[in-house]
């Protein structure tokens, strides 16, 4: 079952699409309580209201909800059946749909919300009708049996389904409850004959009609609009406008509204049960809300005030029944306001919209009025409904609210302009502070929230001392710092508004490039403490620094650097003559030193120590040192001789000092007989 817009010459006859059974309607009317006409006195029509047309007359319209779905926020897709669709359809209907779906022409349809109990106690679908969107124009190229110029309704519905499956038409969108929102308004070229589901022909029986079909899990809502050009037949009976476009928009507006309020009439098997939504439930049904106002023309004006469009009036349940055909309406004498806090707001700041209407219940739909987009829905509680958003971009935004009210008090619309201004950017995410010679290199990630305008730069600050550096990208190098002194650093982003908050801090200590300061052979001389023998790293074979002292618990070769060491690296110790591994060794990092402890090293051996990958605050090194071990070689001649014996004897009885520690061969802290004995025992020994 579909629903049609009649030709003017057929106004006195019943429309085929609403010739539906109304069994039980009288019982329903007796049992159902309708709103008292007295409450209608507060309602006024936005345009000049007109009297409904009924057959038979007088009218006894009882607009009734039968439990089916409506369309919450219609999404219109204008479909051209081939590229031959003629002007003004192609050029002007898109502008019309864009305006009409987001206008007061739809606001008052909230009186046909379905958050009520329907005929026979059937549960409603709990939908609220609000403004819609225009999704654009799509031209299709039907194929196969649908490519001819004589089409049935089933040809049209199956072709729509095929075009959706082929990704040529967008699939139907859904509301929050899964009900279809999309309406395909299909326009045909000249020369096409279309047969509606009852067999009637375009421009003979109907001017346009709407219907529905199922395709898989989708329910498809569509309207059929034949060509209105000269000689089509629709040019003389489908409207009383002075232009073809006026008649097109009038018929399209009615078909749109009847689709919104009764979209599944094409799927109905009976007229008094779901999926039928809103139709006249009187003794003799007058049909859907546009039927009793057939070709009652009025106009709406585009939002910019430059264009007027002809529309058809539709039946309102909440105005005087004798003048119930309205273009739009609102509850007179009622105050409906919208406020935004804060206003102005910063980019990214949460703006709270509050719509107020005293002593009312029901719902409020909030819109981005500039982009004609539904933002959200909220219930009125204690006369107020609120919605918050933090997604407003920089600039001025007209936001709006429409009241889908109770007891016929719908059709109220309010708007306000919210100014969103640039704000300070958020803080960057700080990364590492890489040390350099008198500087730190600060890495960071820019903030996502830029304050609504482009970032102009960044500033890094290191304290103490408030040392700063600016630049356009990461990293930033902060100079003028003292080597070896710890600093904490942060980064802030900058835009035209100013400098944003500082990031978290990162610590760092500047250092010059990592360098080897010295190498020493360190021995503990009893209670006298440690004494270091400087190793000349510039010497190569055969010349070498000789350690004359005994091994004791192990030799300690100390590599000193110009900054703290964070990793000792890998260690290699080899015989300087054979290059074979020798003894046992372990490397330990402490402060600015790497201490290599050697054990099981025989006397009279030349060795090479290599550290690979020593890491400091500012760099990595691979230092090495050659050293010889020859007990008694106090004069570094690489041979124990009489002069060594004499030198030890000359210092016998002395406590160890920085001047004589190399003669304390047994590292006891005192130079004595045991040291003399040791040098004599190794006399004539030579370092290879």
368-414 pLDDT, tens digit each: 998 888 999 998 898 899 999 998 988 999 999 988 665 555 678 89
pLDDT beyond 60 at 46: no
CB-CB contact of 138 with 79 (8 Å): yes
Q: At the top level of CATH, which class does the domain 337-421 belong to?
A: mainly beta
> What does the alpha-carbon distance between residue 5 and residue 13 come to, in Å, rounded to a whole number?
12
pLDDT beyond 70 at 600: yes
Q: Which two tokens stand for residue 615?
A: 């890491």
CB-CB contact of 275 with 266 (8 Å): no
Whether 429-508 and 337-421 are alike in CATH topology: the answer is yes
Instruction: CATH number for 516-681: choose from 2.60.40.1220, 3.30.70.1150, 3.30.110.60, 3.40.109.10.
Output: 2.60.40.1220
Bridge partners (DSSP) listed for residue 670: 655
Q: Which two tokens stand for residue 221?
A: 């809502």
Supply the pLDDT for residue 333.
52
3-state secondary structure 301-335: ECCCCCCEEEEECEECCCCCHHHCEECCEEECCCC
Quick: pLDDT tens for 287-310: 999 999 999 999 999 988 999 999
Q: Which residues contact 455 (CB under 8 A, 6 or more apart)?
A: 425, 446, 493, 494, 495
Quick: pLDDT tens for 652-675: 999 999 999 999 999 999 999 999
pLDDT beyond 90 at 16: no
Confidence of residue 366 (pLDDT cuts 50, 70, 90): very high
% of the chain exceeding 70 in pLDDT: 91
Q: What are the CB-based long-range contacts (under 8 Å, 24+) for 234-239?
A: 234/202, 234/203, 234/207, 237/7, 237/8, 237/9, 237/203, 237/207, 238/5, 238/7, 238/8, 238/203, 238/207, 238/208, 239/8, 239/207, 239/295, 239/297, 239/310
Which residue in 223, 280, 221 sits closest to 14, CA to CA?
Answer: 280
The DSSP letter of residue 670 is B
Average pLDDT over residues 95-104: 95
R_g (Cα) of the chain, nearest Å: 47
Quick: pLDDT tens for 528-559: 999 999 999 987 778 899 999 999 889 999 99
Supply the pLDDT for residue 552.
85
Confidence of residue 50 (pLDDT cuts 50, 70, 90): confident
Lowest mean pLDDT, pick from 9-23, 46-60, 98-112, 573-587: 9-23
Q: What is the DSSP secondary-structure string of 387-425? A: EEE----SEEEEEEEEEE-STT---EEEEEEEEEE--PP
Domain ranges of the chain: 3-328, 337-421, 429-508, 516-681
Supply the pLDDT for residue 19.
29
**Regarding the domain with residue range 429-508, which homologous superfamily does it belong to in the CATH classification?**
Immunoglobulins (2.60.40.10)
pLDDT beyond 80 at 98: yes
Average pLDDT over residues 115-133: 94
């Amino acid at each position: 079952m579909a629903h049609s817009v009649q030709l003017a010459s057929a106004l006195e006859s019943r429309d085929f699409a609403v010739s539906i059974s109304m069994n039980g309607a009288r019982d329903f009317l007796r049992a159902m309580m309708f709103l008292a006409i007295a409450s209608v006195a507060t309602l006024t029509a936005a345009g000049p209201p007109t009297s409904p047309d009924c057959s038979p007359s007088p009218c006894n319209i009882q607009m009734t909800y039968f439990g089916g779905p409506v369309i919450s926020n219609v999404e219109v897709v204008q479909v051209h059946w081939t590229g031959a669709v003629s002007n003004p359809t192609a050029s002007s209907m898109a502008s019309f749909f864009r305006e009409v779906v987001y206008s007061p022409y739809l606001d008052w349809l909230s009186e046909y919300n379905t958050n009520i109990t329907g005929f026979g106690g059937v549960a409603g679908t709990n939908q609220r009708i609000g403004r819609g969107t225009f999704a654009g124009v799509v031209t299709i190229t039907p194929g196969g049996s649908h490519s001819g110029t004589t089409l049935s309704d089933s040809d049209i519905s199956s072709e729509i389904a095929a075009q959706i499956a082929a990704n040529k038409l967008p699939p139907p969108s859904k509301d929050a409850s899964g009900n279809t929102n999309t309406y395909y308004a299909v326009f045909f070229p000249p020369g096409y004959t279309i047969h509606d589901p009852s067999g009637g022909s375009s421009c003979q029986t109907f001017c346009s009609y709407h219907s529905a079909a199922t395709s898989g899990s989708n329910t498809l809502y569509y309207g059929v609009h034949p060509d209105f050009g000269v000689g089509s037949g629709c040019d003389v009976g489908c409207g009383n406008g002075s232009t073809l476009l006026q008649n097109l928009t009038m018929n399209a507006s009615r078909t749109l509204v009847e689709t919104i309020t009764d979209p599944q009439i094409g799927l109905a098997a009976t007229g008094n049960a779901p999926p039928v939504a809103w139709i006249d439930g009187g003794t003799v049904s007058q049909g859907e809300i546009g039927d009793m106002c057939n070709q009652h023309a009025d106009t709406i004006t585009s939002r910019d005030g430059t264009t007027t469009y002809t529309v058809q009036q539709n039946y309102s349940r909440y105005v005087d029944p004798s003048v119930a055909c309205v273009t739009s309406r609102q509850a007179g004498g009622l105050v409906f306001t919208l406020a935004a806090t804060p206003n102005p707001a910063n980019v990214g700041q949460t703006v709270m919209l509050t719509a107020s209407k005293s002593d009312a219940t029901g719902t409020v739909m909030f819109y981005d009025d500039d982009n004609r987009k539904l933002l959200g829905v909220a219930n009125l509680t204690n006369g107020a409904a609120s919605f918050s958003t933090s997604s407003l971009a920089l600039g001025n935004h007209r936001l709006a609210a429409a009241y889908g009210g109770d007891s016929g008090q719908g059709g109220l619309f309010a708007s306000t302009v919210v100014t969103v201004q640039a704000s300070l950017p958020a803080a960057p995410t700080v990364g590492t502070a890489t040390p350099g010679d008198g500087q730190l290199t600060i890495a960071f990630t820019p903030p996502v929230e830029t304050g609504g305008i482009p970032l102009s730069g960044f500033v890094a600050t290191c304290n103490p001392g408030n040392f700063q550096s600016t630049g356009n990208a990461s990293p930033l190098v902060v100079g003028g710092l003292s080597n070896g002194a710890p600093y904490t650093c942060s980064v802030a982003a900058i835009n035209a508004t100013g400098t944003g908050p500082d990031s978290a801090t990162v610590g760092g200590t500047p250092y010059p490039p990592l360098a080897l300061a010295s190498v020493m052979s360190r021995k503990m001389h009893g209670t006298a403490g440690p004494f270091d023998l400087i190793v000349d790293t510039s010497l190569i074979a055969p010349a070498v620094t000789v350690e004359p002292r005994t091994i004791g618990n192990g030799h300690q070769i100390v590599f000193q650097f110009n900054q703290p060491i964070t990793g000792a690296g890998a260690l290699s110790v080899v015989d300087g003559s054979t290059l074979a591994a020798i003894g046992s060794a372990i490397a330990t990092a402490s402060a600015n030193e790497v201490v290599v402890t050697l054990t099981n090293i025989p006397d009279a051996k030349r060795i090479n120590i290599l550290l690979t990958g020593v890491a400091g605050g500012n760099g990595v090194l691979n230092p090495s040192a050659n050293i010889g071990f020859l007990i008694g070689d106090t004069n570094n001649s690489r041979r124990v001789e009489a002069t060594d014996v004499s030198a030890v004897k000359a210092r016998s009885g002395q406590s160890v000092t920085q001047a004589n520690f190399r003669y304390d061969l047994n590292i006891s802290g005192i130079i004595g007989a045991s040291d003399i004995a040791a040098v004599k025992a190794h006399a004539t020994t030579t370092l290879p």
